Amino acid sequence: MPVENDGRPDHHRRGGRVLRRRTLLGTAVGAGAGLGLGAGAAPGAVGRTRQDEAGGAGRDRIRVTILLYEGCTALDAVGPYEVLCRVPGVRVTMVAKEAGPVTSDTGELRLVAERSIRDVHRTEVLVVPGAGNPGTLAMMRDTEVHDWLRRMHRRTTWTTSVCTGSLILGAAGLLKGVPATTYWAARPVLKDVGAIDTPGRFVESGKIITAGGVSAGMDMGLRLVQLLSDTRTAQAMQLGIEYDPQPPFDTGSPEKAGPELQELALRLVEEAAG
């Protein structure tokens, strides 16, 4: 075991889990520097009671609820989840019409919804991810989901979407006259749901925040951390997921990509979504 036989001075190997933790993740900023990597009781730590029911009492005061559905795009949900889930006081719960595994747009990944929307009556933060055409269209027609979205929205602190999730919010009637964005190729549809097509990686309009396509949910997620907690925590979470993006290309927006890559991208996305 490399961790056990790492050639470090003996005191680095004593003390069981705590020192091994420091060995793994603590050395970069120095052992003993007040990292609070010991078991529990870190200074300033806000305890989490993970055994609590989502929506229950306990010290997780901020409920973040992410709606999964058949055909949704996995990264739309997992991007915001990953930046929000470690924020003190936040508990993220994946929900769907029925609890259980939900298949993503490509059919190659399943995420588990822990609860049915029928059992979720309130959330501070609602996140609606997007999908390829089949998933988006199904949700734009699903009146049971629309009823639930409208009920949740009445008492949310923030109602948010990623990618074509905004079209689902719009189909539920929540974007009438609201500046919003969506997946780059779907922006012309925003007006069809009564929204005001507005440029931006994410667009804040009162308590509604809509993000652009797929990966934009990470950027919106960091903004949500700032709103739910504070700037330092949001900045720390950016480092926590080492979000120092260096894509090998610079073709992430339709303007930068140009028409030929736009066509190819849409074809690949459509084929994968069946």
Q: Counting contacts by CB under 8 A, is residue 10 touching its own copies?
A: no
In this structure, how many other beta carbons lie within 10 angstroms of the beta carbon of residue 114? Answer: 15
Window 89-128: residues binding its own copies (CB under 8 A): 91-94, 101, 106-112, 114
Among 128, 174, 216, 228, binds its own copies (CB under 8 A): 216
* 209/133 Cα distance (integer angstroms): 22
* 9/187 Cα distance (integer angstroms): 59
Under DSSP, the state recorded for 127 is E
Alpha-carbon distances of 38 from 9, 22, 87, 123, rounded to whole Å: 20, 9, 19, 32
**Helix, strand, or coil here: 204?**
strand
How many residues line the site for its own copies (CB under 8 A)?
119
Q: Counting contacts by CB under 8 A, is residue 49 touching its own copies?
A: no
Residue type, 227: L
Which range, of 116-124, 147-155, 216-224, touches its own copies by CB under 8 A?
Answer: 216-224
Which range, of 117-125, 151-159, 209-217, touches its own copies by CB under 8 A?
Answer: 209-217
CB of 28 to its own copies, least distance (A): 4
Active site residue 163: yes
Among 152, 209, 214, 228, binds its own copies (CB under 8 A): 214
Question: Is residue 59 within 8 Å of 87, Cβ to Cβ?
Answer: no
Q: Which of 77, 84, 127, 163 is catalytic?
A: 163
Give 88's Cβ-side CA count (13 Å radius): 11
Q: Counting contacts by CB under 8 A, is residue 137 touching its own copies?
A: yes
Among 71, 79, 129, 179, binds its own copies (CB under 8 A): 79
CB of 40 to its own copies, least distance (A): 9
Window 174-193: residues binding its own copies (CB under 8 A): 183-189, 192-193
Q: Can you list the alpha helix ranges (DSSP code H) found in the chain?
A: 17-21, 74-84, 133-140, 143-155, 165-171, 216-228, 231-240, 254-272
Window 221-260: residues binding its own copies (CB under 8 A): 222-223, 226, 231-249, 251-254, 256-257, 259
Annotated catalytic residues are 163
